[in-house]
């Protein structure tokens, strides 16, 4: 059962043990995993990870590592593809407050799943989305 949605930077920081991941975020992710719940990512996060690798802003292999986690049997990390229901939720998110479309898609995915979004993004935190950081 999906209990959390991770934004792109949360996932990257988690995978690389980055100290920028807050203790509250790490605790929520670990508890979900210990209880055999699932964390999810939006498909747009895979696109962002590929882009960040191409730009040399994150280590090469981050995308492959993420895909390997998703492809495991009984995965703790699942991918949520963009669909018409998520697009419908996207319309509830004010573009003036969250102007970047990847961020809006991630926020809309959390609304669609009705789960907390683990994000450091202050624009998303100060919106209608249930967030943890």
At 128, is the pLDDT very low, low, confident or very high (cuts 50, 70, 90)?
confident
Residues 28-80 pLDDT 10s: 999 999 999 999 999 999 999 999 999 999 999 999 999 999 999 989 999 99
- Which tokens go with 15? 């995978």
Say if pTM beats, i.e. exceeds, 0.85. yes
What is residue 65's predicted lDDT score, i.e. its pLDDT? 95
Is the Cβ–Cβ distance between 32 and 4 less than 8 Å? yes
> Average pLDDT, stretch 86-109?
95
What is residue 107's predicted lDDT score, i.e. its pLDDT? 97
Q: How far from chain centre, in Å, is Cα 108?
A: 11
- Beta strands 117-118 and 77-80 are unpaired
Domain 2-132 has CATH 2.160.10.10: no
Strands (E) in the chain, as ranges, are 2-6, 38-42, 77-80, 117-118, 131-132
Sequence-separated (6 or more) residues with CB below 8 Å from residue 115: 2, 3, 4, 5, 40, 130
């Amino acid at each position: 059962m999906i209990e959390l949605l991770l934004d792109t930077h949360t996932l990257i920081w988690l995978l690389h043990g980055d100290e920028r991941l807050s203790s509250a975020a790490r605790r929520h992710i670990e508890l979900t995993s210990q209880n055999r719940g699932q964390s999810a990512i939006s498909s747009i996060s895979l696109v962002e990870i590929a882009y960040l690798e191409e730009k040399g802003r994150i280590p090469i292999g981050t995308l492959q590592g993420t895909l390997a986690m998703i492809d495991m049997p009984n995965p703790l990390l699942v991918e949520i593809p963009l669909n018409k229901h998520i697009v419908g939720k996207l319309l509830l998110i004010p573009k003036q407050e969250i102007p970047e479309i990847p961020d809006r898609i991630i926020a809309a995915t959390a609304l669609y799943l009705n789960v907390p979004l683990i994000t450091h993004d202050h624009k998303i935190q100060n919106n209608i989305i249930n967030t943890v950081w």
